[in-house]
Amino acid sequence: MLPTSSVGRKLVMAATGQLIFLFVILHVLGNATIYFGWLNAYAAHLHALPPLIWSFRIGLIVLFAFHIFYGIVLTLENNKAKPESYVMRNDLSATVAGRNMVWTGAVIGSFLIYHLLHFTVQVTNPSLAAARHLDSLGRPDVFMMVVKSFQNFGIASLYLLSMIALWLHLSHGIQSSFQTWGMNNEQSFPIIKRAGAFAAIVLFVAYIAVPIVIAARIVK
């Protein structure tokens, strides 16, 4: 049953956002296998269990759909509301990241569509598609696809801009989601705020590290 109250919608936003945050962490850990030459093995293991990976993908699509839908609904509600009715604290909502959550979310959503077409469906750059190039063990050469893709300045720049949007979105979204659950007292909230900002910047660095080491020819 869909929530009918503003509080219920915010709780759905918080819950879906935190689950997506966990996926963002898992995804960057998977990306890190490229540094050790394990990326093709990692990808092969994932795709060896089609029911599991498709269940996971469908679950993510549902999470993103709810998060996006209620993000738009709550933004429209906030725009119609009087300033004094806002639940968020002024210092939280006044940040650049807080004021632009819809726009950073739109950038991330657009990038995700491209990212899926690029690395999952492999239709945007068919000449680099891993499915068409096998490594020495007969596995789809995901390593080659990633390296060759990020050697393209346009693709690397798009990725970097999207990761900036992700950083801004998480820097506000992490603390906001905990605030929604009521963790906003004077003792806990400053800690949550600093931890959220720290987590956002760590993930930003972790994500952009891949195209950087490729551009620097450290990984090639």
The alpha carbon torsion through 31, 36, 39, 40 (nearest 10 deg) reads 180
Contacts of 125 (CB under 8 A, 6+ apart): 118, 145, 149, 155
Listed range (23-27, 52-56, 113-117, 154-158) with the worst mean pLDDT: 52-56
Name the residue range of residue 184's domain: 6-215
Q: Which pLDDT value is given to residue 95?
A: 80
Res. 128: pLDDT tops 90: yes
Q: Are 180 and 17 in contact (CB under 8 A)?
A: no
Q: For the residues 180-197, what does the mean pLDDT come to?
A: 89
Domain count within the chain:
1
Amino acid at 137: L
Contacts of 39 (CB under 8 A, 6+ apart): 33, 142, 143, 146
Quickly state the pLDDT bin for 159 (edges 50, 70, 90): very high
Q: For the residues 138-157, what does the mean pLDDT come to?
A: 96
Q: For the residues 35-57, what does the mean pLDDT come to?
A: 93
Q: Which residue has the tokens 């993510």?
A: 60
Q: Is residue 94 part of a domain?
A: yes
Name which residue leads in pLDDT, 81 or 54. 54
Res. 141: pLDDT tops 90: yes
pLDDT in tens, 83-107: 544 444 444 445 888 889 999 999 9
Q: Is residue 165 part of a domain?
A: yes
Q: Is residue 132 part of a domain?
A: yes
Listed range (131-135, 166-170, 184-188) with the worst mean pLDDT: 184-188
Percent of the residues in the chain that have a pLDDT greater than 70, as a whole number: 93
Q: Which pLDDT value is given to residue 161?
A: 97
Q: Is residue 220 part of a domain?
A: no
Name which residue leads in pLDDT, 87 or 148. 148
Q: Are 137 and 72 in contact (CB under 8 A)?
A: no
Q: What is the largest CA-CA distance in the chain?
A: 64
Q: Are 153 and 214 in contact (CB under 8 A)?
A: no
Q: Is residue 154 part of a domain?
A: yes
Q: Which residue has the tokens 């959503």?
A: 109
Q: Is residue 1 part of a domain?
A: no
Cα distance between residue 84 and residue 89, in whole Å:
10
Name which residue leads in pLDDT, 73 or 186. 73
Q: For the residues 4-17, what does the mean pLDDT come to?
A: 91
Q: Where are the beta strands (DSSP E) in the chain?
A: none
- CATH value at residue 152: 1.20.1300
Of the ranges 73-77, 185-189, 202-206, which is most confident? 202-206
Indicate left, alpha or beta for 139 from its phi (over 0: left) and psi (-120 to 50: alpha): beta
Cα distance between residue 73 and residue 91, in whole Å:
22
3-state secondary structure of 20: helix
Q: For the residues 188-195, what does the mean pLDDT come to?
A: 91
Q: Which pLDDT value is given to residue 88?
A: 46
